[in-house]
Chains A and B, each alone.
Chain A
Amino acid sequence: MEFDADVRYATTHEWARLAGDEIVVGVSDYAQSTLSDVVYVELPEVGDKLTKGEQFGVVESVKAAGDIYAPASGTVVAVNSSLEDAPELVNQDPFGEGWLVRVKLDDAGDLDDLLDAAAYQSLVEAEQSA
Chain B
Amino acid sequence: MVYTPHTDDDRRVMLRAIGVSSLAELFADVPEQYRFPDLDLPEALSEMDVLRELQSLAGDTLNANAVPTFLGAGAYRHWVPSVVDYVISRGEFATAYTPYQAEVSQGTLQAIFEYQSLICDLTGMDVANASHYDGATATAEAVIQAYNVFRKKRRKILISPAVHPHYRAVVRTYTQGMDVDIVGDDLIDTSLSDLVGQVDADTACVIIQSPNFLGQIEPLAGLADRIHARDPKTLLAVVTNPISLGLLEPPGSFGADIVLGEGQPLGLGLNFGGPYLGFYATRDEVVRQLAGRLVGQTVDADGKLGYVMTLTTREQHIRRDKATSNICSNQGLMALAATVYLSALGKHGLRQIAGSRRLRHRGLWSLLQRVRRPLPCPRRRDQRRAPGPGSDRPDSDRPGSDRPDSDRPDPGRL
- When the two chains form their complex, are residues A65 and B288 in contact, meaning their CB atoms are under 8 A apart? no
Residues of A in contact, count (CB < 8 Å): 8
CA distance A40 to B289 in the complex (A): 13
**Would A65 and B151 be within 8 Å (CB), given that A40-B288, A42-B288, A60-B313 are in contact?**
no
Overall SS of chain A's interface: strand
CB of B148, distance to nearest CB on chain A (Å)? 10
- When the two chains form their complex, are residues A67 and B313 in contact, meaning their CB atoms are under 8 A apart? no
CA distance A58 to B313 in the complex (A): 11
Answer whether residue A110 sits at the interface, using C-beta atoms and an 8 A cutoff: no
Answer whether residue B247 sits at the interface, using C-beta atoms and an 8 A cutoff: no
Contacting residues, chain B, for A54 (C-beta < 8 A):
none
Which chain A residues numbered 51 to 83 have a C-beta less than 8 Å away from chain B?
A: 58, 60, 65, 67
CB of B264, distance to nearest CB on chain A (Å)? 34
**Contacts A/B (CB < 8 Å), 9 sampled:** A40-B288, A40-B313, A44-B151, A58-B322, A60-B318, A65-B318, A65-B319, A65-B320, A65-B322
CB of B302, distance to nearest CB on chain A (Å)? 21
Which chain A residues numbered 28 to 46 have a C-beta less than 8 Å away from chain B?
A: 40, 42, 44-45
Q: Which residues of B contact A (CB under 8 A)?
A: 151, 288, 313, 318-320, 322
Contacting residues, chain B, for A42 (C-beta < 8 A):
288
CA distance A25 to B325 in the complex (A): 30
- When the two chains form their complex, are residues B288 and A67 in contact, meaning their CB atoms are under 8 A apart? no
CA distance A97 to B36 in the complex (A): 65
CB of A59, distance to nearest CB on chain B (Å)? 13
CA distance A27 to B112 in the complex (A): 37
**Would A45 and B318 be within 8 Å (CB), given that A40-B288, A60-B313 are in contact?**
no
- When the two chains form their complex, are residues B151 and A67 in contact, meaning their CB atoms are under 8 A apart? no
Overall SS of chain B's interface: helix
Q: Which residues of A contact B (CB under 8 A)?
A: 40, 42, 44-45, 58, 60, 65, 67
Contacting residues, chain A, for B319 (C-beta < 8 A):
65
CA distance A36 to B265 in the complex (A): 44
Contacting residues, chain B, for A45 (C-beta < 8 A):
151
CB of A116, distance to nearest CB on chain B (Å)? 31
The chain B residue sitting closest to A48, CB to CB, is B151
CB of A40, distance to nearest CB on chain B (Å)? 7
Contacting residues, chain A, for B322 (C-beta < 8 A):
58, 65, 67
CB of A114, distance to nearest CB on chain B (Å)? 25
CB of A129, distance to nearest CB on chain B (Å)? 26
The chain B residue sitting closest to A58, CB to CB, is B322
CB of A85, distance to nearest CB on chain B (Å)? 13
Known: A60-B318, A67-B322; 6 extra A-B contacts, CB below 8 A, are: A40-B288, A60-B313, A65-B318, A65-B319, A65-B320, A65-B322
Contacting residues, chain B, for A65 (C-beta < 8 A):
318-320, 322
CA distance A65 to B313 in the complex (A): 9
CA distance A90 to B319 in the complex (A): 20
Contacting residues, chain A, for B313 (C-beta < 8 A):
40, 60
CB of B153, distance to nearest CB on chain A (Å)? 9
CA distance A47 to B313 in the complex (A): 25
CA distance A44 to B152 in the complex (A): 12
CA distance A44 to B150 in the complex (A): 11
Contacting residues, chain B, for A67 (C-beta < 8 A):
322
CA distance A42 to B286 in the complex (A): 12
CB of B250, distance to nearest CB on chain A (Å)? 28
Contacting residues, chain A, for B320 (C-beta < 8 A):
65
